[in-house]
Structure 1
Amino acid sequence: MHAIRLHAFGGPEELRYEEVADPEPGPGQVRIAVRAAGVHLLDTALQRGAGDELPFPLPDLPVTPGREVAGVVDRLGEGVADTWLGQRVVTHLGLVNAGYAELAVRETEALFPLPDSVSYEAAVAMVGTGRMALGVLEVAAPTADDVVLVTAAAGGIGTLLVQAARNLGATVVGAAGGPDKAARVRALGADLAVDYDRPDWADEVRAALGGREVGVVFDSVGGSAGRAAFELLGHGGQFVMYGWSAGAPTEFTSKDLHERLITATYALGPRVLRVPGGLRALQERALAGAASGALAPAVTTFPLRAAAAAHTALLGRATVGKVVLLTSAENTSGDNTSSGNASGDNTKETVAS
């Protein structure tokens, strides 16, 4: 099979498209012919060797990055029911890095069967990013009476938070970096979409709300944009953080919280795990949302061989929604070179169904 291999920590150019041995499923496992593999910011941290940014130890090299895959079961391990053979499935590989490949193995209890109505790229987006979006939403539990502000609203989690909050009946303000991304957020159904690269974006929000106050902020940007979002919160509001793509978390003090009766929460990690049913339940709900059409993840796709270009685009804020790698079975426009730099591009932005 072909896979992306990282032989040395460094820039995206260290990601190599190579031919490696096919994996075989063990007892209780299946092998998946991968059609789509998810790309996460954690994968870029692994690529750089930034161990302090990872929830797992840096692995020995070489390694194949990636932890979310969707495809078709093509081989069964010992003790696995024949009914799994040929099944469309999606899974999260947990803390194992092996997703950027044409084949992957996983235990049956970690699999989710996919209806034909859910594409492989949508499934990959929902099994990881979708579960996190619903977990973050659960922390704040906004209602139809709230004004909800989402920063990085064109990102993987942000696009889903915009849709989920709209589904609840809330008034949604989406803030994204650049006019093109703001336009995409508007198309997702946000009541107001603004470009947070503009210095006056917060004033634009205040003017548009006409005296209504923001009740919930979902922030994954941090820095000055996060602080501007924080300042838009009314008394009794909630500030929910789940990252800081600007490089530093939003700064505020306990005095800030006390004076305005604001509640601040970091939404990932233990908070999400306390949701009834844990991650498995969130994954089931996210996939069900995609199947029903209630949630449509935005995705930016690259061929598997172009993993380096995918990492470069993700780090350069040049993507919309979830970044997904497609194998040649799903994307026939790329060449099938057996080795070399995984830097070729065939980028495509869609709303996955």
Structure 2
Amino acid sequence: MTRTLILGGTAWLGRDLAEQLVAKGEEVTCLARGESGEVPRGVTFIRSDRRASGAYDLVVGNAWDEIIELSCDADLVAGALKALAGSTQHWTLVSSVSVYASNAEPGADEDAVLVEPSDLDDYAHAKVAAERATTEAVGDRLLIVRPGLIVGPGDTSDRFSYWVSRLALASDESVLVPDLHGRSAQVIDVRDLTEWLISAGHRHLTGIYNAVGSERELSTVLLSAAQVAGHKGELISADDDWLTAHDVNYWAGPRSLPLWLPTSDTAFARRSRSRFLAAGGSERNLKETLEDVLADERTRGLGRERRAGLTRDEEVLLLDELRG
């Protein structure tokens, strides 16, 4: 039995990690404020504000087989490293493919140039700073994992789930999509990522890995989502200039078309996964992920308010204007 400390563990990825570890019979402790949700049954939960003095007092004396850091906040990362870097056999830092300086190099691998972390309020900069601080403190016991877009049941970002939900909601009506020519999507199911993270920890795998799924044409993803959703209407596309002129945003957030990227950034979804595959990385069938996401979305409500995408009313108004 291994002893794992997850710094976090009540939000989506951390909770899935904790659930899978417990299911394997492992001893799991989560240290977090607990504001993102409940920890799974069987997990030891230590409620702690990581910014407070003595935040790690209840775990600092333990010998851990694995510590998993999910945060990119400079203060949180530094505090954890100061308290715990010497108390574990293996440390995993979950970073992001957002750390790369260029999104214009299809097939770029883990050796590509990173952004220079000059603004720690910026997500990508903060992740690079976390990688550097952890490398210095942990050395050759460190695994840095750079996931691409994480998807699956339970996701609250709506970047992936928007499409299968919208297509199901629209039924036989039209759905607005971006110009799909030359656009790619690269996603990894949270359950596949978690399974690999656990395996990598057990093997004491070290180094840096892009944990990304297969490179797919965005059109393939949307057509698969339409099939799963049972959508019988049209997919009506608009070009980038028209969409941006009508205040539709790229990628995520309110009034956006999720997964849509500027042509200058399309290689963001075309990262090399060779090293990940060689280290045992795998992915489930896209249809399975879409089906599970749709089931989860139906439970939460297809028409609910979302963090990303267009409202159906916004979409209908845009479609009417597009048709003239």
Instruction: Give the TM-score normalised by structure 1.
Output: 0.35
Instruction: Give the TM-score normalised by structure 2.
Output: 0.37
Higher strand share: 1
